[in-house]
Homo-oligomer: A and B are copies of this chain.
Amino acid sequence: MKVYNFSAGPAILPQSVMQQAGEAAIDYNGIGLSILEISHRSPEFVAVMDEAVSLVKELLKLPDNYEVLFLSGGASSQFFMTAMNLLGDNDKAYYVNTGTWSKKAIKEAMAFGQVTVLASSEDKKFSYIPKGYDIPDDGKYLHITSNNTVAGTQYREFPATTMPIVCDMSSDIFSREIDVSKFGIIYAGAQKNMGPAGTTLVIVNKDLLGKIDRKIPTMLDYRTHIEKGSMFNTPPVFPIYVSMLTMRWLKDNGGIAAMEKRNAEKAKLLYDEIDRNPFFRGLTAKEDRSLMNVTFETTNPNDYDTFLKAATEANCSGIKGHRSVGGFRASIYNAMPIEGVQALVDVMKSM
């Protein structure tokens, strides 16, 4: 019996994608070779990379001056690469601290320029998204984390600023329509809403590059990868292939607009039960609730094990909250079917 995977990441992928990926690992499209052994310069993989890039451009309606890169090193490498590529030693950048990942981005950027934290929700365990703070306009960029996977908060509206926004979208890329032109760089580790672990999507406004005189190692310079179409060195072939399959699935299922609608329905189903059922309570400010990572706890801490056991028996896996938050976290990314959410809600109703 199939298990519903509510893990925060690596996370659920469409069943058809995992099936196709598994078959390609044995024999790719009947060519007698596995996708794991073919050259990244082979026509087969070049076609995969081209389609992956095209799908990002199409799904997110990218303006012409944006480049699409598939890198490795995770979003954790983007924490320093964004600053290393955009920020001169004396340049200013502004950050908003909405949790674990924002903090890491801030820490890494500080080595490269004048970093100011404009607002933080650390005073309330990152259970909300800060609002109403002043945003100066003299920075190279404003950095935000669009969705806090750990606490379960999400920007409903992005901050209004004339600076380009640099955004870690690891856990909600492709989950809702966005206006890319507001962003200077969008980066996302694949392993939440795009594919398996092992590649990182970077969308960059190329007009922002080449403005600083820092010497950057070749592999850390976005321009290297733009020039070589993410093939300067051997790219992570299989993770990119599976990401491409996932985006193809996304397109075949109505694209991002359809996904956004479905995600809102799934989240409503779950949050409605949290709000209705006195056995549970939510952990974040209602207006900032994440549609991707739904965090909650049992009203009585003693009921934690009871619910965990019941959910596990109902084949709902990966719902333990992050160790820094506790409680429960149900991650309901694009690939989670509404049946999975319903299965979890049914367990909740039985409490």
Contact = CB atoms under 8 A, between A and B. Distances in A.
Given A40-B10, A242-B36, A236 B18 contact: no
Contacts of A108: 217-219
A29 interface: no
A33 B232 contact: no
B37 A12 contact: yes
A79 B189 CA distance: 23
Contacts of A234: 9-10, 74, 189, 191, 197
Interface string A227-267: 00000111111110010000000000000000000000000
A23 interface: yes
A36 B10 contact: yes
B237 A197 contact: yes
A217 B9 CA distance: 24
A246 to B, nearest CB: 10
Interface in A13-60: 13, 18-19, 21-26, 31-34, 36-40, 42
Contacts of A79: 217-219
Contacts of A33: 3, 5, 317
A211 interface: no
A37 B196 CA distance: 7
Contact of A7 (B37, B197, B318): B37
Interface string A289-322: 0000000000000000000000000010110000
Given A196-B238, A197-B234, A197-B236, 17 more contacts: A3-B33, A5-B38, A7-B38, A7-B39, A9-B39, A18-B26, A25-B25, A32-B315, A72-B74, A72-B198, A73-B73, A73-B77, A73-B219, A76-B232, A84-B217, A198-B238, A236-B236
